[in-house]
Chains A and B, each alone.
Chain A
Amino acid sequence: MSAETILQVRGLSRRFGGLTAVNDVSFDLTRGEVLGLIGPNGAGKTTMFNLLVGIHRPSSGSIRLKGTETSGLKPNRIAKLGMTKTFQNVALFQESSVLDNVLTGALLHHPVAQARDAAHEMLRRVGLDHIAGKLAGDLSFPERARVEVARALCTRPDILLLDEVMAALNAVEMEEFLALVRDLRKDGLTIVVVEHHMQAIMTMCDRILVLNFGGLIAEGTPREVAHHPAVVEAYLGKAYTGDHGAH
C-alpha cells in the first residue's frame, strides 16, 4: 500500500511586483514525513510557508491539503483543516502568559477550561510547564520558540511548518528539540522544516527540497542533496559531509 499523500503542491508561484519570490514549485508530502526546505537567504522558503498556510495568496498554482484545495483560503480555515506554522521571528502574544499563549492555540478544538488543561499538558510535554505563568515577552529566544511550537501543536495539526525554530538553540536544547520531533513523528505528525542548521536538517529529515531564487533546484534524501552539484554551488559551498555544525 502506498503512503498517503497529505499535501500536493503544483506549479506554485508568487510574485511581488516584478519580483518572483516563489517560481513554479511542485512537490508532494507524505503523511508522517519530515521534509526539509533549505536554500540561501531570500530563496523563498518563508514565502513558501506563507503560501501554504494562507498568509499570502498564490499568483498561480494549486495547494491541496488532504484532497481539499486551499489556495485562496484564509489561514484560520487552513489551520482548521490541519496545517499551521511557526514564525521565523517568533510571533508570541507578548503581553500574555506562556499558558495563555498555548491555551489560545487549544481553543481551536476546546472550550476555555479544557483548553487550559490541554495547554498544561502540552507545556509539560515540551518541558515548559515550570514557566507557564511567565509573561511571553520576558522569555529568552529559545524559550519563546518552544512556546510557539507548543502553541502550534495545541491546534492538533496534521502538518506543522517550523520556520527556523532551532536558531539560537545550544547543543543540549537542540538534542531535546530533535527528540521532540522524533516523538511527534511517532504520533503521525507531518513536519516541514526550514532551517539553516545543516546537521539538524540532515539528522531529522527524510527528504529535502532546495530552493534558490524562488525555484526548486534539487530534491532528494539528505545524502543525495548534500552532494547535488547545484546545491553545493548555490548553498553549501562544498559537499556536506556531516563533520561541521551550523551552516
Chain B
Amino acid sequence: MSLSSSLGNAGTPSLRTLPCRPVLLIAAALGMAGLVPLGLDPQGYTLRVLTLTLLFAAMAQSWNIVGGLANQISLGHAGFFGIGAYTSTILLRDLGVSPWLGMIAGMGLAGLAAAILSVPTFRLKGHYFALVTLAFGEVMRVIANSWSSVTGGPVGISVPFAPNSLWMFQYNTVRPYYYVSLIALVLVSVVFWRIKTGALGYRLRAIKENPDAAEVIGIDTYRAKLMAGLVSAVLTAALGTVYAQFSYFFDPDTIFGVASISVRMALIAIVGGVSLTFGPIVGAFFIIPLEEISNAALAGRAAGLSAFVYGALLIAIILVKPQGLLALFGDLYKRLRKESSR
C-alpha cells in the first residue's frame, strides 16, 4: 500500500453523537435551571446571586478558551469585559442604540484589541504573558478613568432608563436577566466545546504541550493562539454588555478590576477544572455563592474575616486537588463506586 493511498483515502466523517446519558443529564440540568426562577422572588436576592453565578460561569468559560485550551494564563480579561460594557452603554446613552447592537460593536472593538495585544504577547508564556495581559487590563482602567468626557471617568456610567423591552435589553425584574445569562452560558459553553473537540482544540493542546513539535507538523502557532484569543475576547465583551444592562451602573475600578473580574474569571475556571467544559460552571456555582455566604455570615463580625475564610477555602481546594473540583468529585465518585461494589 502506498503512502499516499494510506493517507489520502481517509474515510468520510462519521456522524459522531454524544453518549445518550450525558445528553439527558445536560437536558435535565437545563430544564431545572429553566424552572428555578419560577419558584423564586423575581426581584429577590437569591435570583440575583444565581444570575451573577451564571454570568460569571459564562465569563470563566470564555476565559477557559485561552487559559485552559491554550494554557495562556490571562489576567487582563477585564479589559475585554469593560470594552463590551462601555461600548454598548455609551452607544445607548449618546445615540440611543440598542444594547444588542452595542454588544456587536463592543465585540468588534474587543476583537481588535485582542488582535493588537497578540503582537507583543505572541512569544510570551507563563508569568510574562500573565503580566502583559494584567498591564493591558490596567491600561484600559486608566483610560476609562481619565477619559471622563466619554466614559464618565471615576464617577462611573449609568445605563439610561427605558421601559421593559427586549430590543432595549432592559427589565424591571431580575428574571429576564437570569434567562439571558443562562442562554449566554449555554452558548459560550457550546462554543468552548466545539473548539475543544475541533481542529483548533487539537492544535491548541499541541501548542500547550510542545510548541516546536506543533510547528514542525504544520501548526501555525501564532494563528491558533490568535484565533483562541479573539474568540475569548469577543465572547467576554458580549458578556460585558449583559453585565452592564443587568447592573445599570458601573465604574472603571469595578468593570476593569483585576481581583473582581480578571482574577475571578481565572479562579472560577481553575477551581472548577481548567480546560474542562463543565469546570467553569462547577467553579462558578462554588465560588460566587461562597463569596456571598461568607460575606453575609462574617462581614459584620470582623473586618476582613469573610475574605480570609473565603481565601482559606480556595487555598485548601487548590492544595487538595489542583486539577479542580470536577476531578475531586470524580475521585469521590470512583471511591464510592468501589466501596458499594465490595
Residues of chain A touching chain B, judged by Cβ–Cβ distance below 8 Å, are: 53-55, 74-76, 78-80, 84-85, 87, 91-96, 100, 103-115, 117-118, 121-122, 125, 151-156, 184, 186-189
Top-8 shortest CB links A-B: A113-B13, A187-B3, A114-B10, A108-B218, A79-B218, A91-B213, A75-B215, A117-B11
Contact A112 B202 (CB under 8 A): yes
Query: Can you identify 25 A-B contacts, CB atoms within 8 angstroms?
Result: A74-B215, A75-B216, A76-B215, A76-B218, A76-B220, A85-B216, A92-B213, A94-B209, A96-B205, A111-B199, A112-B202, A113-B12, A113-B14, A114-B10, A114-B11, A114-B13, A118-B10, A121-B7, A153-B7, A154-B7, A156-B3, A156-B4, A156-B7, A156-B8, A188-B3
Is B292 part of the contact surface with A, judged by Cβ < 8 Å? no
- The digit string for B1-45, where 1 denotes a CB below 8 A from any CB of A, is 111101110111110100000000000000000000000000000
Interface residues of B (CB under 8 A from A): 1-4, 6-8, 10-14, 16, 197-199, 202-203, 205-206, 209-210, 212-221
Q: Are B220 and A125 in contact, with the CB atoms below 8 A? A: no
Which of B198, B213, B215, B218 has the most A CB atoms < 10 Å from its CB?
B218
With A184-B3, A187-B2 known to touch, is A105 a contact of B217 (CB < 8 Å)?
yes
Q: From B6, B197, B219, give the contact of A121 (CB < 8 A).
A: B6
Alpha-carbon distance between A159 and B275 when the two chains are bound, in angstroms: 35
B67 to chain A, nearest CB (A): 16
Q: Is the CB of A122 within 8 A of B7?
A: yes
A-B contact count (CB 8 A): 119
Q: How far is the CA of A108 from the CA of B10 in the complex (A)?
A: 13
Query: Bound state CA distance, A120 and B173, in angstroms?
Result: 55
Pick the residue among A78, A93, A187 that contacts B209 (CB under 8 A). A93
In contact, A152 and B11 (Cβ under 8 angstroms):
no
A44 and B14 alpha carbons, distance in the complex (Å): 46
Given contacts A93-B210, A107-B202, A115-B10, could you give 8 more A-B pairs where the C-beta distance is less than 8 Å?
Answer: A54-B216, A74-B220, A76-B218, A85-B216, A87-B213, A111-B13, A112-B197, A113-B13
Q: How far does the Cβ of B323 sit from chain A's closest Cβ, in whole Å?
A: 12
Q: How far is the CB of B196 from chain A (nearest CB, A)?
A: 11
Contact across chains for B14 and A107 when beta carbons are under 8 A apart? no
CA distance in complex: A205, B11 (Å): 34
Which B residue sits closest to A109, measured CB to CB? B7
Closest B residue to A75 using CB positions: B215
Inter-chain CA distance A103–B203, complex, in Å, is 10
User: Which residues of chain B are within 8 angstroms of A87 by Cβ–Cβ distance?
Assistant: 212-213
- Whether the pair B212, A91 counts as a contact (CB closer than 8 A) is yes
A189 cross-chain contacts in B, Cβ below 8 A: 3
Q: How far is the CA of A189 from the CA of B4 in the complex (A)?
A: 10
Question: A107 vs B220: C-alpha distance in the bound complex, in angstroms?
Answer: 12
Tell me which of B10, B197, B205 contacts A106 (CB under 8 A).
B10
Best-buried of B13, B210, B221 by chain A (most CB within 10 Å): B13
A10–B92 CA distance with the chains assembled, in angstroms: 63
Query: Given the complex of chains A and B, what is the CA–CA distance between A106 and B9 in angstroms?
Result: 12
**B199:A107 contact, CB within 8 angstroms:** yes
Measured CB to CB, the nearest residue on chain B to A49 is B216
- Nearest chain B CB to A74's CB is how many angstroms away? 7
Asked if A80 meets B218 with Cβ closer than 8 Å, knowing A112-B199, A156-B4, the reply is yes
Tell me which residues across on chain A come within 8 A of B14, comparing CB atoms: 113
Neighbouring A residues of B206 by C-beta, 8 Å: 93, 96, 104
Contacts of A111 in B (CB 8 A): 13, 199
Compute how far the CA of A105 lies from the CA of B203 in the bound complex, rounded to whole angstroms.
Answer: 9
Distance in angstroms between the alpha carbons of A74 and B216 in the assembled complex: 9
A117 touches B4 (CB 8 A): no
Alpha-carbon separation in the docked complex, A97 to B302 (Å): 51
Q: Give the complex CA separation of A93 and B209 in angstroms.
A: 6
Give every chain A residue within 8 A of B13 (Cβ-Cβ): 111-114
- Chain B residues with CB under 8 A of A122: 6-7
Knowing A104-B202, A111-B199 are in contact, say whether A96-B209 is a contact too (CB < 8 A).
yes
Nearest chain A CB to B7 CB, angstrom units:
5
Inter-chain CA distance A210–B217, complex, in Å, is 27
Interfacial chain A residues near B209, Cβ < 8 Å: 93-96
Q: Which residues of A contact B219 (CB under 8 A)?
A: 76, 104, 107-108
**Separation of A155 and B212 alpha carbons in the complex (Å):** 15
